Each structure stands twice: as structure tokens, then as C-alpha cells.
Structure 1
């Protein structure tokens, strides 16, 4: 935490009022007062959300931080809410610290593996034009809960974290405990380490996106997968392992086959030796 505060003269922190973000805001406040702004994003998805954000901002000010509440149109789903949140954080024009923990890292590894493309969260990333820092990736939720108890603050409990129709919630509440029981110990730590190693591999094998099928066919498989994933991301299309595999075959095993579905009414076709993202009729 000290190195983050030292390396960045100006910072913001995403503060929901939950235990993780409260613990993060308090730690940053202890390191550097007056140069950090807590941004409390009100997604307006739940009754009373404004009051929750205002209370989080009040607590941040009590610790000596500047704080503001920003209301956003979160759309209709998790993905749209995430985009709206990061765009609001990007508007500050400074790096933002977010409170992802080792549990979040482990959950991300399992979720991405179920999509056929393993991944993890990097300590530093850029999302929707926002420079995102994650100083708590090696911390545990028990640590953030304990910090809140020591500070004498009562964190907000997001009702969405109880919804069994969210895959991440079911992994958190059902899968991780089951894996812990199977291995006879802590399943989060090794999964989080594996996710971090995946991030390191992605950095080492980072490959620029390209739509040229000949160029993609000439790449080693690991780099070809990453180039296709980067191209899909740059095109605004979903990234899945199945999609990447199918698109790869358009380059390495071309025999006039049809397009590869990559999302709702989206497909990738090979046209004139290039990849093309097309809307299905």
C-alpha cells in the first residue's frame, strides 16, 4: 500500500461502502491524507442506493479523504454496470485503486476457465480509459472484514452478493468451499496464485491484435490465441475459448467453412484473407 501511495502523487479510490473498499480507503488514508479522492458510484439499481453512497463518502471524509458521489446509468446487467462504473472512475483523470482481493482473483480464474480462456486480474490494468490499481490482490476477505471491525465501522452488505443467479456468487458460496473441502484446506490461495501466474504469462506472450489470417497462422499457438483475443476485445466482441479456437481454425485450417459465432448475433468470417466481424441477420 505504501508503494502505491508513494508512486502516484494523486489517486482516487473506488468506494462502495463494502468491507473490502472501506478497508482499502482506510489504508490509503493512513498513508496519504488530502491527495486521494474517494469516488462512490451510485448505480441506482437498488432502492436507497444514494444513501449508501452518501454514507460511504461521509466515512471517507471522516478519515481525511476528499469524497464525492457520482450517479450513473448502470443499464440492465452486470456488464453494462461495470462499464458505467469504470467510465465514472476514469472521469477523475487519475489512477483509481479498487479493492479486489485474493478471493476475487480465485473466482475470476474459475469463471474464465468455464469460458474456455483462463485469466486473472493484473495489479495494474486499463479499463474503459481508466488506469486501475489493485493493491489488495494478496489480501483476504477475512483481512478486510477484520480491518472494519478494528476501525469500528459497519460495512454495507450488497444484496447482489446473495443472488444465486449470479455465477460469481455461486462460485463464492458453493464452489470454493467445496474445493476447500476436497483439498482439505484453503482452495483460494493456490487458485489466486495460478491466476497471478496466468497474468504473468499473458504479459510475456502479449501479442498485438491483427485480422490478417496469414500472420495469425504463422504465430505459435499461444501467441495466436492472444492476438485473436486482443482483436476480439478491440472489436468490442465477447472473448471465449471456444470462439478463439474456432477463429484460429479460420486461419490455420481454412477450407471454406462458415462463420464462428462469438456473441449475440455476431460472427467472425474469413473474407479475402482477413477476419471480419459481422452482424448476423
Structure 2
């Protein structure tokens, strides 16, 4: 994209871009912005309404989004929270399982250390650091190229660049770090309840989280339906049952 073909546009209080003129018009035609959206070309100080900058669009109304199933752009904070919770726990389980399998097969003499590492209370802090890091990092390749993860797919969420293309590895990495810091506050107990509440307030009041706004990302969901609701409820129940079962004291999990 040349400097002469760089455009910026306003979404709420944020200015997003740069995008090319063709991408800007695609956003309009896809219904991601209206004719009143303020836009400006690189080098200009003041913005114009979209239909002022491109008068020919007055006779070209925005098209509805293609019927690919991901058409709902309204905020769904609880869907996103449960999707993230599923992803973090699934990634942590995969990490523990894969690491234990790797160490027991490649370094069996060290198994006396690695087996207790994942269960003994004495190793709780380094274990938490490792599993938390992998839980967030494990989302990056999926978000970078598909815009969704296992949890997000179950709850009907897909996130891409505002022009519809995948966000790429660098943006996916920065986004995961932003979620880790701004929403989960480095996973510090109690304190992260306040940051999660703040993220909830931003999403419900502004329609976007701060990290999606900062990186010019578009969130699309499958519309609410009986099937989507049923799937979400069943998954949450199964997750809670699994979480309770795995945290039961050994004497409760033993068969009589």
C-alpha cells in the first residue's frame, strides 16, 4: 500500500487504519461502517463523512454480510468469557499431557522429578507460570490464521482484521499479551476480577474490547439460536463437572 493510498476511519473514539481505498469501500459495502463514518486520507488533518469522500457511494447502499453463518457483530461478553475459559484449560491440559509424555519417553530417568512437578504443592508457582504461558501462547497460531479456537468455535466467535483477512502471527501475539495483561492482569487472583469486570464494561458499552479496537480487529459471531444456546450450556456443564471431578480429594475419586 503506497502512502498515497492510505486511509484512516473512526470507530467510536478510535481511529483505525491505514487501509487502502479499495479496503475502505469494501468495509462500507460489507456494512462495517455507514455513510456517516468519518474518514481521512494520510496527510489530511480533518476527516470527511464516507459519502463526502466518495460521493458515488450515495447510490451504492451497503450490502448485507455474506451468509457464512458469522453475521452477528453485537457484543457477547459471556460467550467470549466461557470460550476463553475453555481454551485456557484445554491448552493447559495439552501442555501437561504432552510435556509429561515427552519427558517420560525421552528422559525416563528424570520422571521422578517431572511427575511430582505437576502435582506437588511445592512446585505450584513455577507450574502456574509454565501452564499459564502455554495456555495463552497456544491460542496464537489458531487466531493468526483462522480467527478462532476450539472454545471460540464452540461458542460461535471468529476474529479477523476489519477487512476480513486473518490477523497474522504478530497481531495475534500482541492481542494475546494484551488479553493476558489487561483482562486477566497476569492471572493475579482477586485483582483479575476487577480487570475482567472492566473489560466486560468496555465491551458492553463500546461494543469492542480495547485490544480488538487497538489492533483494528472485527469480531463476528454466529447469531443466537436454540442450537447455539444448547451447545454452550452443555459445554459449560461438562466443563464444570470435569473441573470438580479433577479437583476432588483422592479419597472421593476412589471406587468403593
TM range (shorter): under 0.3
**If you compute each CA radius of gyration, which structure gives the higher value, 1 or 2?**
2
Higher fraction of helix: 2
Q: Which has the higher contact order (CA 8 A, sep 6+)?
A: 2
Q: TM-score, normalised by structure 2?
A: 0.25
Higher fraction of strand: 1
Q: TM-score, normalised by structure 1?
A: 0.23
